[in-house]
Amino acid sequence: MYARQFLLTALGALFFSLANAQPFISAHRGSSLVAPENTLATFKAVLAMPVRYIEIDVRTTKDGQLVILHDGKLDRTTSGSGPVQNLTLAEVKQLSAGKGFDEHYKDERIPTLKEVCQLIRDWNAGHTAKVNLYVDCKDVAPAPLVAELTAFDVLTDAIFYGSDDFLLTLKQEAPKAKLMPSLRNAEELKGKIEKLHPYAFDVRWPSLTSELIQQIHGNGIQVFSDALGFFETAEQYQKAARMGIDVIQTDYVLKVSQALRELKIESKK
């Protein structure tokens, strides 16, 4: 029995290594290097870059509208203050989302989920290389989230990150949704697979090993990880690629792309 399980795991890992010879890139909140995070300006900028996913953070306003904002409070990235859930959408739209950037972005606004979905839908309609949403479910109910993504035909390819409990309720609302719970260690693997049947796992960068990635792949599941902060180096990107990671999430899309190109050239020598 153990030999059979080992063989299945090895075959699964081999399939993933052949199908995903190089990692895809996810743009973390768009790219705050070129434009304010979680705005249409930054999303438009990264669509022209080699990304497979754009990560967005979804929250809910006082009147039940879904908007894109990382923090629960408005203070850090906008001209407003206090919790976004205390404001209506009309009030939110009065705020500048360009805080910390030059005057060029002073009229940038917090986008709605509908605006982002339309942007992605329209982009994909005109390009062969599709870009999908990586949805960080910060403060949102499953039903309206699924309804808006479905209305713009971007639900099927979206990835959903959130707590296990939230993802379970989301699965009840959209049985085919691609769930991505976090995974701290291999001991959690079996239980989370049985409970959530995930499409992918979000694994902390320091926890990545070839053995863990192979084990996850052996169950037909992808591996995403955030190369943020200390790990945003070419050496780290290439190390993760060699281990077989499927998606690298980053604040430095072009830096990751360059490192992966260099690795590909190196592997052909």
238: domain CATH number is 3.20.20.190
Instruction: Give a yes or no: residue 36 inside a domain.
Output: yes
Give me the pLDDT at residue 32, please.
76
Closest by CA to 200, choosing from 173, 226, 231, 230, is 226
CA distances from 238 to 11, 194, 229, 268 (A): 23, 32, 16, 15
Question: What is the rounded CA–CA span in Å between residue 171 and residue 169?
Answer: 5
pLDDT of residue 27: 98
Is 17 within the bounds of a domain? yes
Read off the pLDDT of residues 214-235 as tens digits, 9 standing for 90 and up: 999 999 999 999 999 999 999 9
156-182 pLDDT, tens digit each:
999 999 999 999 999 999 999 999 999
> In whole angstroms, what is the distance from residue 131 CA to residue 243 CA?
24
Name the pLDDT band for 31 (thresholds 50, 70, 90).
confident
pLDDT at 33: 84
How far apart are the C-alpha atoms of 60 and 57, rounded to whole Å?
A: 10
Q: What pLDDT shows up at residue 9?
A: 43
Q: Please provide the average confidence, as pLDDT, over all residues in the chain.
A: 92
Q: Which domain holds residue 150?
A: 2-58+113-268
Q: What is the mean pLDDT of residues 36-57?
A: 97
**Segment 7-30 mean pLDDT:** 64
The percentage of the chain sitting over the pLDDT mark of 90, rounded to a whole number, equals: 88
CA distance 253 to 231: 13
How high is the pLDDT of residue 266? 73
Residue 125 has pLDDT above 50, yes or no: yes
Using only C-alpha atoms, what is the Rg of the chain?
A: 19
* Whole-number Å distance between alpha carbons of 67 and 114: 8
Question: By the 8 A CB rule, do 246 and 222 touch?
Answer: yes
Give the span between the Cα atoms of 167 and 177, in whole angstroms: 9
pLDDT band at 269 (very low <50, low <70, confident <90, very high): low
Contact 21, 242 (CB under 8 A): no
Please count the structural domains in the chain: 1
Determine the pLDDT at residue 142. Answer: 98
Mean local confidence (pLDDT), 47-61: 97
Distance CA 190, CA 187 (A): 7
* 176 found inside a domain: yes
For residues 95-120, average pLDDT: 96
Residue 48 in any domain: the answer is yes
Residue 137 lies in a domain: yes
Looking at residues 87-94, what average pLDDT do you find?
A: 98
Q: Is residue 221 one of the residues assigned to a domain?
A: yes
Q: How confident is the model at residue 268 (pLDDT cuts 50, 70, 90)?
A: low
| 51-74 mean pLDDT | 98
Q: Is residue 162 part of a domain?
A: yes
Confidence grade of residue 265 (pLDDT, cut at 50, 70, 90): confident
> What pairing do the DSSP bridges indicate for beta strands 53-60 and 66-68?
antiparallel
If you write DSSP's letter for every residue of the chain in order, what string do you get? -HHHHHHHHHHHHHHHHHH-SS-EEEETTS-TTTS-TTSHHHHHHHHTSS-SEEEEEEEE-TTS-EEE-SSSBSTTTSS--SBGGGS-HHHHTTS-S-TTS-GGGTT--PPBHHHHHHHHHHHHHT-SS--EEEEEESS--HHHHHHHHHHTT-STT-EEE--HHHHHHHHHH-TT-EEE-EE-SGGGHHHHHHHH--SEEEE-GGG--HHHHHHHHTTT-EEEEE--GGG-SHHHHHHHHHHT-SEEEES-HHHHHHHHHHHHHHHH-
Residue 25 covered by a domain = yes
